[in-house]
Amino acid sequence: MIPEIEKATINEIKAFQEDKLKETLQYLNINSPFYKRFFKENNLQVSEIITLEDLQKIPVTTKDHLQQFNDDFCCVPKSEIIDYVTTSGTLGDPVTFALTDKDLERLAYNEAISFACCGVSKEDTLQLMTTMDRRFMAGLAYFLGARKLGSGIIRVGSGIPELQWDSILKFKPTYLITVPSFLLKLIEYAKQQQIDINNTGIKAAICIGEPIREQDFSLNILAKKIKMDWNIELFSTYASTEMSTAFNECEMHNGGHHHPELIIAEILDDNNLPVSNGEVGELTITTLGVEAMPLLRFKTGDMVQVFNRPCKCGRNTLRLGPVVGRKKQMIKYKGTTLYPPAMYNILNVFSEIESYVIEIFHNELGTDEILIKIVSEAVSDELLLEIKDHFRAKLRVAPKVEFARPEEIEALRFPPLSRKPVDLIDRRL
Ligand SMILES: [Zn+2]
């Protein structure tokens, strides 16, 4: 199930997106209180925006805009809204996203073609290992997508390895939708219970929230650890509430495919200009076909690289590489640009490290410093040296690493109000 437009030529895809862009701009100009004002303040005539390149005439929309003027982004009366979703905002309060019936249908279509990208068909059954409520969009999108595709879906929710295994053995799903690190917990449980993990009928896992590949698309250490015990195919997916669109890997595993009927993607530098071909930049999106809260040139904060050679799977749409990091978490360290995920990858190589926290702060010169605190039973200078050497080999620089007491790291990793463990403490703000 590949939509025709995804097999069209790059020029045809561009022309198609320009038509959709025109519709979107007209819609915003009539229905969006925020963008109506925004166009006026910036002396913009939407009729003058014709090509994708013309988008550069429009200033970007930021997360601060969304937070400050949240209600003004909504283009429909309350009676049209079916589902309410929230995401964490930049200034503390959550940002609300509303979806109409048509938006839910768009979300279902998005997830159906994204699942299809990962080889899921009507014959498959998916086990959903993420939450469907708590005002999250993702779980609901997976359910709607499976329903549209005609696949089976088992809504187990997150955690509880025992219940997950009970469900796998009882209903024989073929795909898992999960945070990849949770697969390690499932493997551990299966070993304890002597479950024959490679004879359970699971073909693949669709991995959310954490990267499973390096920038060259080879499997990262987490993915290798999983595959060592469990011979399943791992697909990466990247999505967000603001985009209401997913970028899923196809069977070629060389980046997440763009769906041109749903979103326009630009990769911008610090001056909001397009980066040169293949450079890392900030993903900036314009949603297409969204009714309640469409976004125009919204800066996602995610640093990515684009690949635009046609894919062997038959799709000609561009592909996004693994997210390099969050823009605001970028670290300039001894002349090198680093992002936390690359450091997590290195630390995860060492089985001696039981847990860790990365602290970033400004030194007296105002430049970035990194201090990694680790917990290990094997406290030794040799281990510290080995870790630093590995950092130098992979990232060219070695941050300061020191041992810490387990209680100290626990307290740092699990602050009272956090929903998930904290790996990074950024004290630069
Ligand atoms: Zn492909």
Q: How far apart are CA 146 and CA 345, in angstroms?
A: 32
Q: For residue 311, report the distance from its CA to the centre of ligand 1, in Å.
A: 5
Q: For residue 253, report the distance from its CA to the centre of ligand 1, in Å.
A: 7
Residue 416: band (very low, low, confident or very high) from pLDDT cuts 50, 70, 90: confident
Tell me the per-residue pLDDT of 287-312, one tens digit each, with 9 for 90 and over. 999 999 999 999 999 999 999 999 99
Q: For residue 255, report the distance from its CA to the centre of ligand 1, in Å.
A: 8
Q: For residue 256, report the distance from its CA to the centre of ligand 1, in Å.
A: 8
Percentage with pLDDT > 70 across the chain: 99
Q: For residue 258, report the distance from its CA to the centre of ligand 1, in Å.
A: 10
Residue 88: band (very low, low, confident or very high) from pLDDT cuts 50, 70, 90: confident
Q: For residue 318, report the distance from its CA to the centre of ligand 1, in Å.
A: 9
The answer to whether the beta carbons of residues 370 and 387 sit under 8 Å apart is no
Q: For residue 220, report the distance from its CA to the centre of ligand 1, in Å.
A: 20
Q: For residue 312, report the distance from its CA to the centre of ligand 1, in Å.
A: 6
Residue 90: band (very low, low, confident or very high) from pLDDT cuts 50, 70, 90: low
| Backbone phi and psi for residue 213, each to the nearest 5 degrees, phi listed first | -130, 155
Q: For residue 249, report the distance from its CA to the centre of ligand 1, in Å.
A: 7
Q: For residue 240, report the distance from its CA to the centre of ligand 1, in Å.
A: 21
Q: Considering just the CA atoms, what is the radius of gyration of the chain in Å?
A: 22
Q: For residue 380, report the distance from its CA to the centre of ligand 1, in Å.
A: 46
Q: For residue 251, report the distance from its CA to the centre of ligand 1, in Å.
A: 7
| Start-to-end C-alpha separation, the chain | 47
Q: For residue 54, report the distance from its CA to the centre of ligand 1, in Å.
A: 28
Q: For residue 323, report the distance from its CA to the centre of ligand 1, in Å.
A: 18
Q: For residue 236, report the distance from its CA to the centre of ligand 1, in Å.
A: 12
Q: What is the pLDDT of residue 167?
A: 98
Q: For residue 27, report the distance from its CA to the centre of ligand 1, in Å.
A: 32
Q: For residue 176, report the distance from its CA to the centre of ligand 1, in Å.
A: 20
Q: For residue 9, report the distance from its CA to the centre of ligand 1, in Å.
A: 14
Percentage with pLDDT > 90 across the chain: 86
Tell me the per-residue pLDDT of 340-399, one tens digit each, with 9 for 90 and over. 988 998 998 899 999 999 999 998 888 899 999 999 999 999 999 999 999 999 888 999
Q: How far apart are CA 23 and CA 162, in angstroms?
A: 50
**pLDDT exceeds cutoff 90 at 278:** no
Non-local CB neighbours of 43 within 8 Å, separated by 6+ positions: none
Beta bridge partners of 247: 238
Tell me the per-residue pLDDT of 9-41, one tens digit each, with 9 for 90 and over. 999 999 999 999 999 999 999 999 999 999 999
Q: For residue 346, report the distance from its CA to the centre of ligand 1, in Å.
A: 28
Q: For residue 217, report the distance from its CA to the centre of ligand 1, in Å.
A: 13
Percent of the chain that is helix, strand, coil (3-state, to 5) = 35, 25, 40
Neighbours of 236 (CB within 10 A): 26
C-alpha dihedral sign at 142, 345, 234, 312: positive
The answer to whether the beta carbons of residues 299 and 60 sit under 8 Å apart is yes
Q: For residue 317, report the distance from its CA to the centre of ligand 1, in Å.
A: 8
Residue 419: band (very low, low, confident or very high) from pLDDT cuts 50, 70, 90: low
Q: For residue 314, report the distance from its CA to the centre of ligand 1, in Å.
A: 6
Q: For residue 152, report the distance from its CA to the centre of ligand 1, in Å.
A: 24
**pLDDT exceeds cutoff 90 at 277:** no
Tell me the per-residue pLDDT of 150-188, one tens digit each, with 9 for 90 and over. 999 999 999 999 999 999 999 999 999 999 989 999 999
Q: For residue 137, report the distance from its CA to the centre of ligand 1, in Å.
A: 25
Beta bridge partners of 315: none
Q: For residue 248, report the distance from its CA to the centre of ligand 1, in Å.
A: 9
Which amino acid belongs to residue 412?
Answer: L
Report the mean per-residue pLDDT for the chain: 94
Q: How far apart are CA 17 and CA 428, in angstroms?
A: 40
Write the burial class of residue 293 (CB in 10 Å: 0-12 exposed, 13-18 middle, 19+ buried): buried
For Cα atoms 302, 119, 250, give the angle at the middle one, nearest 5 degrees. 40
Beta bridge partners of 246: 239
List domains and CATH numbers for the chain: 1-325 (3.40.50.12780), 330-426 (3.30.300.30)
Tokens found for residue 216: 């060259």
Q: How far apart are CA 102 and CA 66, in angstroms?
A: 22
